A and B are shown apart, each in its own frame.
Chain A
Amino acid sequence: MITPLTSAFGEDVKFTVEAIWKVLLASLVLGAGLCAVFALGIRSLAWGAGGDAEVSHAQGNPAGRIVAGLLFLVVLYGVVAGLLFIIASGQGKELTFSHVIPWIQAKAD
């Protein structure tokens, strides 16, 4: 019994190490990355609003709003993808990004 038990234990550790790196990388991009993009959006909004929105009290720049809008769109894309992913996995399906817009499809396997 000892040998198969320990080897299965080793396999569990191996699978975990393999999975955890991917989880870490994906979470860094989606979690921390999208937070940073959102923060850039806020910063651009403040740049666009000018005056009291910034410590420097500089004049507002209209381009700030446009840049902010684009950045928020990126965040929205991530959030919608997350939402669709939850729905897809609840239905036993998976998400495809093959047409840029994330969409639900039957599982490939």
Chain B
Amino acid sequence: MDRRKSIKALIMGTVSTGVLVEACKHADTKIEAVEPAPGTNYDRTPEELAKYKQLMASTFFTADELATITLLADIIIPKDDVSGSASEAGVPAFIEFIVKDMPDHQTPMRGGLRWVDLQCLGRFGKPFKDCSSPQQMELVDLIAWPDRAKGKPDLAQGVAFFNRLRSLTATGFYTTQMGVKDLGYMGNQPNQWNGVPDDVLKQHGIAYTEKELKECVSFDKA
């Protein structure tokens, strides 16, 4: 467990020794690419726990559908210099959960996947997941650029599906520890808010007024 986390635990006064030992053990191993199974480690009512169990006990996507989602999600969010890929961050599992939790996604997702497969069957004689990588990219390029697809009504449903999948993939990725780190979100931890950093104020050509500096809470910059 790193020092900052230990301090956090001490400030909170809520962490038992057992948890501290456990947390320190984990700190030695690198954070796993796939996030730990969430769902029940925060305050839940009995109704929420029951709902969670019910959702987890059911499966929506078939193995083939999930394989296609995984391929597409990794095209949308591949590994780059900053962070890993969608599948490394567990995005397919998130999408499987969220369509069960928000049933409005179910038909557009299932139908959209089928639309993609039928396009591939027609063009390449195989469903998307069995196509070669260049074939897959050819199909993706037809539906990933809304402006290019304008005036092509036969692609409109594919574009709508890809927009939805892009949104779900982005949400699924940037809400993981990997994604949050990629974005550079630095909060969700005990802090002392001391105002906008000086260089940022300067960059935007603004400054705190004397009144603000005098009346607002400030902390020693350690």
Answer whether A and B are interacting partners.
Answer: no
Residues of B at the A interface (CB closer than 8 Å) are: none
